[in-house]
Structures are given as structure tokens and as C-alpha cells.
Amino acid sequence: MIPIFEPLFEGRERDLLRECIETGWISSQGRFIGEFEAAFARRAGMPFAVVTSSCTTALHLALEALEIGPGDEVICPDLTFIAPANMIRLTGATPVLVDIDPISWGIDPAAMRAALTPRTRAVIVVHAFGHPADMDPILAIAREGGLKVIEDVAEAPDALYRGRVVGTLGDLACYSFFANKIMTTGEGGMVICRDPALDQRLRILRDHGMSREQRYVHVLPGYNYRMTNMQAAIGLAQLERLDSIHARRNAQAALYAKRFKDNRRIAWRPAADWCRPVHWLATVTLAAPEWRDPLLAHLKDQDIEGRPMIFPVHEAAPYRAANNPNRFPVSRSISYRSLHLPSSTGLGDGAEVGRICDTVLEWLDRRQ
């Protein structure tokens, strides 16, 4: 079976992890925590970075640091993994779902503007599947309304929007280091920001609400959202290799894109000319939604793992009643017609990608 995604450890991961075990620094203290934060902040060109246990907890901390709560509304895209909506709800605020742009697959600025109310406090912008959202109009709307902007960069580390690094454009940005992300710590996340007050509040909230000056004195109702030193060690080693990881992944994306070019039955995911996306998952969109599940079943029969596109958030049980599905035509169309193909960084030398593409195209050639 060719898996959908496997992590790749070819650098110092084992050596740094062995140091954690041999020195006993295996929990949420140890030198790699600070080193990983500092190295990540340098790469992003931001002054502050705070490691967390996941991108989901990073999003929750970002919302809490901005004091989002009951009575507030926060805008987020309808086609995203459900975590942003859930974390908005966890604060007591109301997630306001909006449709997506058909090219970037990020928030449609026109839909964002239409969703504003006097209670809107913030927006979570997801840079979906490695492609930046169209940030300039989103930021302009946010400035007009005095809204805070949280960037979800789980799938797009190092992507550029009009020459600027995504994650550095809003008030805070959150990253994922889950096993299937471009770089991984197994589980894990990060929040970056420019504001020293936000940085301090994030650190207090992350560590049980404990004072930074005096241990076991709790100044806020907080959480245990810490990363372990072992995870940070792996993250530091992965970060050292991130340029080479991107290079290998870009080569993979180019192979896929070439094979699916100008095919009326299937399209490689689109990209706007105003950005430099990064390659996360090999995502394709079919001409007909009824083809998706049979194609996935055929791939499985050929020992190739595929995944359907995530479902729109408005279809999830907690959000169904509050959202008219007719408000999300682009989100629904892309969700029902798209799937992901194997995308591991170490995916062969092109022969495996060729086999995957041959399997897909031969099946599609039999469709009328």
C-alpha cells in the first residue's frame, strides 16, 4: 500500500531525541523547548513564538489571548478542518462560517464583508492546503471593522503572499506539527506574534494560568497546552531540514501537476499568480462528484491510499442548524468533487507518483 502520508526523519531527530532520554529532560522543560521557539521565530521573522501541544490548542490560546468570549462572533471559512470553529465555540463565542474563494480556497473577502455584524470581533484565516488566502482585502476589511486576525498556517508554512510570509500578516498565527504535516513533531503546534503582551499572556494561559514571576501562583484560568522537550527536539531537527523538505515536495507537486494538466476529467488544485504556495497534500478535483468515492475505492483495490476532501463545517452536527447550506456553493462543490492522493515527502523517485497517476487516469478514461 502506498500510504497517504508518512513522516520522514533523515536529520538529527534521533540524536536529539536520544539526548532527551539520556539526560532525563523528557517533559515540558528542557533546552529544546526554547531553542525550537527561537529558531521558529527567526525563520518567520517574528519576535515571539510559543510552542503548544497542537495547532488546535494554539488556536484556542490565540483566541483566549485576544479575550474572545461570550457575545462575540468570529468569522472562519466553511471548508476547513473543524478545529477553528470548535475552538471559537469553546471560548463561548459564535463561529460565523463563510464561503471560500474558488482559487485560493480561503475566505472569500466578499462573503466575509457580508457576514460582519456589530458583534464581530475577529477572523480566523485558514491558508488552505498550502495556498495563501487573499490577505490584502481580508486585512482591509479587518482594519475597517477593528477586527483581530488569526492566521491558521497549519498547512502552509513558508508560503508567500505577494512576497510576504504567511503567518506574519495578522495579529497571531498558528501552526501544526501533526504527523501528516510538512514538518512534524508527532503532535504539536506553535503560535507566533509581534506583541510582547500577547506573548506573555499566551505563555501564562498555556501553563495552567501560572505567573511567569512566581511558580504555583495562578493569575489566570489556564490550560496545560505544553509541548514536551522530546517533541521540540524532533521539531528543531525537522526545521533544520525544512528547505530540503520543500524542495522534494515541490518536485513531487510538479510531477502530479504535469500528469493532470489539461485533462477535462480531473484538475490539479489551482494556484493564484499573486502567491507562492507550498505543497502539502496532492489534491485533485474531479469533473463529477459521483466519481469521487468509486475512484477512492478503486485506488484502495490497487494498494493506493486516497482520502476524500474534508466535509464543509456547516454539515457537522454542532453547526448544521445555524447554517443554510445554500450559502456555501463553492465550499460544497470543492468538497464533494475533491480528493487527496499520496503525498509523503519520501514518495519514491517519481515511479510511485507515475503509478498513482496512471491508476487514476486509466480509471477516468473509462468514464463517459
Last-in-domain residue among 187, 217, 240: 240
pLDDT tens digits, one per residue of 41-73: 999 999 999 999 999 999 999 999 999 999 999
Domain boundary among 197, 224, 240: 240
> Residue 2: inside a domain, yes or no?
no
In this structure, are residues 174 and 58 in contact, taking their beta carbons and an 8 Å threshold? yes
Contact status, residue 209 vs residue 222, Cβ threshold 8 Å: yes
Q: Average pLDDT, stretch 302-322?
A: 98
Predicted local confidence at residue 274, as pLDDT? 97
Find the catalytic residue in 181, 258, 261, 300: 181
Residues 356 and 220 in one domain: no
CA angle 34, 38, 39 (to 5 degrees): 120
The CATH number of whichever domain residue 33 belongs to comes to 3.40.640.10
- Whether residue 217 sits in one domain with residue 247: no
Supply the pLDDT for residue 348: 78
Write out pLDDT tens, residues 106-159.
Answer: 999 999 999 999 999 999 999 999 999 999 999 999 999 999 999 999 999 999
Q: Are residues 253 and 112 in the same domain?
A: no
According to DSSP, the β-strands at 94-98 and 73-77 are: parallel
Give the SS3 label for residue 307.
strand
Domain final position from 201, 221, 240: 240
Number of domains within the chain: 2
Whether residues 184 and 91 share a domain: the answer is: yes
**84 and 136 housed in the same domain:** yes
* 253 pLDDT higher than 70: yes
Q: Which stretches within 25-82 are classed as H helix?
A: 31-44, 55-65
Half-sphere exposure of 229 (CA within 13 A, CB side): 17
Around 302, how many Cα atoms within 13 Å sit in the side-chain half-sphere? 19
- In this predicted model, what pLDDT tens digit does every residue of 319-358 receive, in sequence order? 999 999 999 999 999 999 999 999 999 997 789 999 999 9
284 located within any domain: yes
280 and 231, same structural domain? Answer: no
Residue range of the domain that includes 348: 242-365
Give domain status of residue 140, yes or no.
yes
Phi-psi region of 71 (alpha: psi -120 to 50; beta: other; left: phi over 0): left
Contacts of 261 (CB under 8 A, 6+ apart): 268
Residue 75 lies in a domain: yes
275 — phi, psi (to 5°)? -145, 170
Residue at 85 is within a domain = yes
Cell numbers at 290, concatenated: 459521483
Same domain (yes/no): 274, 172: no
Residues 134, 248 within the same domain = no
The bridge status of strand 338-341 relative to strand 94-98 is: unpaired
337 within a domain of the structure (yes/no): yes
Domain contains 1: no
Q: Is the same domain home to 36 and 140?
A: yes
Residue 5 in domain: no
Mean pLDDT across the chain:
97
The verdict on 208 and 326 lying in the same domain is no
Distance between CA atoms of 284 and 278, rounded to whole angstroms?
15
Nearest-5° Cα angle at 280, 170 to 195: 20
What end-to-end distance do the CA atoms of the chain give, in Å?
29
In this prediction, residue 100 carries a pLDDT of: 98
Q: Is 181 an active-site residue?
A: yes
Note whether 78 and 221 are same-domain residues.
yes
Write down the pLDDT at residue 368.
67
What percentage of residues in the chain have a pLDDT greater than 70? 100
CATH number at residue 253: 3.90.1150.10
Strands 307-308 and 73-77: unpaired
The DSSP secondary-structure symbol of 132 reads -
For residues 252 and 223, state if they share a domain: no
Q: Confidence band (pLDDT; 50, 70, 90) for 185? A: very high
